[in-house]
Every structure is written in C-alpha cells, then in structure tokens.
Amino acid sequence: MKRLPALFAALLAVGIAADSQADSQGSMAAQTPTAENPRRIILDIDPGIDDAMAVLLATQSPELQIEAITVVSGNVIVDLGAENALKLVELAGRPDIIVAKGAKYPLQRKLITAQSIHGKNGLGDVELPAPSKKLDPRHAVQVIIDIVNANPGEITLVPVGPLTNIALALLQDPTLREKVPEIILMGGSVIGGNASPAAEANIYNDPEAAKIVFNSGIPITMVGLGATSQAKLYRRHLPTLANSGSPIGKFVADISDFYISFSERIGFEGSDLHDPLAVGMAFDKTFAKKLWPMHIDVETKGELTYGETVANRYLLVESVEDVGDHYEITSFPKVEPNAEVPTVVDGDRFVATFVERLSATPRKP
C-alpha cells in the first residue's frame, strides 16, 4: 500500500500538466485557419446522414479547402456511399470537388452497415437528383497518396468513417507518415462505446485499420463520443434550416428529421453531430474547451473490448522489478501522447455555427 501516495502524486502532477497544456488555447488560436489561409483537407466519408452533414458543413466553411472527398464502406456499402457523395457535392454547388471510391471491405472483419440509422439510401431516404458528375477514375487510396505526395506537409486528413482507406494509404505508401501533418478524425471513445459497450462504431467497423492509423506517428485529434455527445441537434433547430430558403438547409432539415427519429426510437432526445464536429474542429479547434493529450491504441483481440480505443490519460506506465515471489513497482516511465482528445466542447456555439452555415446561401468555389 505504501506505493499509493507516490502513484497519486505522479498522476496528480501529470493531471495538472495536462490541464495547463489543454488550456493553452493561444497557440491553437494562432493555427486557426481562415478564409485567406484555409486548411487543406481530404474528407474521407461513409455517407451516412451525419457524413452528409459533414460534407455540407465543409463546403459551407471558407476556412476549409476540400482537395478531395474519398469514400469508404461503413454506414452503407461503398458503391452507394460514392453515389451519395456525388449527389452531395452537386447539392452543394461544388461539382469541381474530386470524389473517389475506396475500400469495399474492412481489412479483416466483415462489414457492418447501418441503414436502420441512416435510411435505405444512406441519406434518411430523402431523394436527391441522380448525379451528372462522375467519380474520379482512381481508387480513393491512390487519390490520398497522390494528393499528399504532391503537397507534403499541407494536407490534413479528416476521416469520419471506418479508417480502412487511411490505413491502406499508409500501408501502400509509408512515406505518408512524414507528409501528413495531422489527422482529425471522428471515431473512438474514452467514455464507452455505441457499437458495443466498449467500442465506437467507426473504430469497431475496422479496428485493425484504426490500429495502423493510431500507431502511424501522425498527430491525431480524436473527436470521439465524449465530444460529440456534447454537440446535439434537437428538433427545435430544424425550422431555421427548413425555412432558410437554401436547398442545403432544406435537405439537412429533412435528413435530420430521420436521424432524430431514430434517436427517439431508441430512447434519446436529439442526435449527436458526430461527423460534423470533426469538420468543425478542422476549421476551429476552439470548439474544444479542453483538449486532453493521451496515448491511444486500439484493442484488436479483446473478448469484450474489440475495437475499443484504449487511452493512457496520464501518459505514464508502471515499471516493475521482479523481487522473487512478486513484482514491485519501481518507477513510472513517461509515454508520449499520440492524440489530443476534446473532452469538453462548446456544443452550443458549435451547433449554432452548424445551423447558421447550413442555412446560408450555398457558397461558390
């Protein structure tokens, strides 16, 4: 028992350090992209209602320059997701954006789709016109590799589906690890899961891919369930969107009605804006009031915890010495963080921004 005070002292010290790092928003604000100096992103999606919202929030945000939209299987199969992505960029008035189709299946596990949540068509069964735009002829993984290599250090990846495409790009071209400055992803959780008690759905849908991404060495902002549960869209938000006069606002109101209805059927009020919050963090990280540096790995073997993002919050591990019939703790070596996790979010400001931007006139490229 005598080791406990030392352990608590160490954890307390690290906790204080984490707090002071998290509150240093001055440096984050300095990096905040602007319309004049936008963040260049590749948005990787599995649309999906909240993916559709994320695409439209991105096209309506002047602080983001979308270099490509890449599609992965997840909420729906990739063929349907790719068709949805084409429809979405046309709705947004942005047929100039590259759209590419990616991985059909997760790396190892069997695909799980989610039409019960997102509608048979993946877009809340709201119909959009058939797209006239065509897919890029390249595989999405090749598009990611090509764009990052042509712009080293410049392209932030924003994946909001299973991480299959990103993992395949890293496997196919390991030099991307040095060329991608940051990944801002929707996925994971340090407060329990939604696909299983332990795992969040995007990670659960391809844990082996997620493990590759979290161990890539690329700095990650993990917009997980703890963050997105603080950014809820309620029915009271829908009239502003529906009556905006914007085709984007009307569409988002319609798909939100479907999405919120699902939440109500399972006993919740309102819907978490999962994927849009990752896009929000890409243009304004101060939506997070607290960003907690952690070291995160992904469980790929656990009986109860398959797909869990296992977080070392205190950036320490126990080091032990064998003293015969037992081990004794000798020190607490430090562990480097590989991710920042928004744990406190200004949900009201984010949702207000979301509604305002999606109710506005569609932006021109």
Q: Which is nearer to Ca ion, 281 or 315 (CB)?
A: 281
Site string for Ca ion, 271-300 (x = CB under 5 A): ----x-------------------------
Q: Least Å distance between CB 186 and Ca ion?
A: 7
Whether 316 contacts 335, CB under 8 Å: yes
Q: Which of 33, 48, 187, 224 binds Ca ion (CB under 5 A)?
A: 48
Smallest separation, CB 207 to Ca ion (Å):
16
The residue count for binding Ca ion (CB under 5 A) is 6
Q: Which of 139, 237, 274, 295 is catalytic?
A: 274
Return the residues of window 291-350 that contact Ca ion according to CB under 5 A.
none
The type of residue at 200 is E
Residue pair 317/335 in contact by the 8 Å Cβ criterion: yes
Show the binding pattern over residues 152-171: x = contacts Ca ion (CB under 5 A), - = does not: --------xx----------
The DSSP secondary-structure symbol of 35 reads S
Work out whether the CA dihedral 77, 96, 150, 56 comes out positive or negative.
negative
Contacts of 15 (CB under 8 A, 6+ apart): 314
Q: In the numeric block, which tokens belong to residue 281?
A: 């963090």
Rounded Cα gap, residues 85 and 248, in angstroms: 14
Query: Which of 8-39 are b and which e, b meaning 16 or more Cβ less than 10 Å from the residue's Cβ?
Result: eebeeebeeebeeebeeeeeeeeeebeeeebb
118 is catalytic: no
Residue 239 token pair: 């009239």
Position of tokens 């790719």?
82
Among 51, 67, 284, 340, binds Ca ion (CB under 5 A): 51
**How far, CA to CA in Å, does 261 sit from each of 206, 245, 337?**
27, 23, 38
224: contact with Ca ion by CB under 5 A = no
The region of 50-58, 97-105, 239-247, 301-309 touching Ca ion under the rule CB under 5 A is 50-58
206 near Ca ion (CB under 5 A): no
- Prior bond of 153 cis (ω within 30°): no
Query: Which residue lies nearer to Ca ion by CB, 262 or 360?
Result: 262
> Given phi > 0 = left and psi -120 to 50 = alpha, else beta, which region is 153?
left
Nearer to Ca ion, 126 or 242 (CB): 126
* CB of 47 or CB of 342, closer to Ca ion: 47
- Give the x-and-dash track for 28-47 against Ca ion (CB under 5 A): ------------------x-
Q: Which residues bind Ca ion (CB under 5 A)?
A: 46, 48, 51, 160-161, 275
**Which residues are annotated as catalytic?**
274
